[in-house]
Amino acid sequence: MDHIAVRTKKLSKSYTQGLYALDDISIQVDHGKVLVVMGPSGSGKSTLIRTFNGLEPFDEGEVNVLGIQIDSTYDERKIRKIRKRVGMVFQQFNLFPHLSILENITLAPIQVQKRRPIEAEEHAMHLLSQMGIATHSSKYPSQLSGGEQQRVAIARALALKPELLLFDEPTSALDPERVNEVLDVMRRLAKQGMTMVVVTHEVAFAKEVADQVLFMDAGKVIETSTPDLFFSNAQHERSRRFLNQIEKK
């Protein structure tokens, strides 16, 4: 179990009777690996990764994250433990508009992890330097481009020194020319060995960075394979149709 970062067992969630957002999902993500989750809109991708840090409750099954097991009873104490060790980057950057960039990044380390402000600020500036936006530390989110805001959001997630990073379509709200700014940061994190679960439609990124690609449709895992196999010779007809649609865009 020590090598497993995330494991789900028969995970299910339904919104209305007979309509499953997640349908009997059992998957595993090992430490230091990158899992890319793909699928059409409404397939359950975001719902799945939001169960990993307790943002989405579920009806049946189990989720084990970094050795902490949760079930449908939604144990708040366990959820808090997980959130201290798992970072998440959302589609919409979710930065606090009234706080400076530096304040956005240091808020959780100071409030949640009780780190000394000077230590939290030094680490935040180090992260902003890595993101190439250290000169923006005193600005506010509205003064930054979308790509810059998303890099701040990644720095904020990293500020808690997480063991696992979740990305929920991190580039889908960006202008096309800003997408690579964010993907470059994610590529760097993958090379550094960060364990990542990434919901995305960025095929080139998935081919380059993913250790595994998981394809979902209608709440089910349709196919899981290496990127080489998935993109060159997908086994399932539904997967092939999805890839054909992406290639046409």
Domain range annotation of the chain: 1-83+165-249, 86-162
Beta strands in the chain (DSSP E): 4-16, 19-30, 34-38, 60-65, 68-71, 86-89, 164-168, 195-199, 212-217, 220-225
**What local confidence, expressed as pLDDT, does residue 1 receive?**
56
Nearest to 243 by CA among 219, 138, 222: 222
Q: Is 229 helix (H, G, I), strand (E, B) or coil?
A: helix
Q: Are strands 212-217 and 220-225 parallel, antiparallel or unpaired?
A: antiparallel
Q: Which of 165, 55, 161, 159 is nearest to 108 (CA)?
A: 159
Name the residue with tokens 């600020």. Answer: 121
The predicted pLDDT at position 16 comes to 75
Give pLDDT, residue 212: 97
pLDDT of residue 92: 87
pLDDT value for 147: 93
Pick from 154, 197, 168: nearest CA to 8: 197
Chain Cα centroid distance, residue 18: 28
The tokens for 53 are 């840090």
pLDDT at 113: 85
pLDDT per residue of the chain (249 residues) written in tens, 0 to 9: 579 999 999 999 998 777 889 999 999 999 999 999 999 998 999 999 999 999 999 999 999 999 999 999 989 999 999 998 999 999 888 899 999 999 999 999 999 888 999 999 999 999 999 999 999 999 999 999 999 999 999 999 999 999 999 999 999 888 888 899 999 999 999 999 999 999 999 999 999 999 999 999 999 999 999 999 999 999 999 999 999 888 766
Token pair belonging to 126: 């180090």
Taking CA atoms, 20 is separated from 49, 103, 217, in Å, by 15, 40, 11
1-83+165-249: in CATH 3.30.43.10? no
pTM score, two decimals? 0.93
Q: Provide the pLDDT for residue 248.
A: 65
Residue 247, pLDDT score: 73
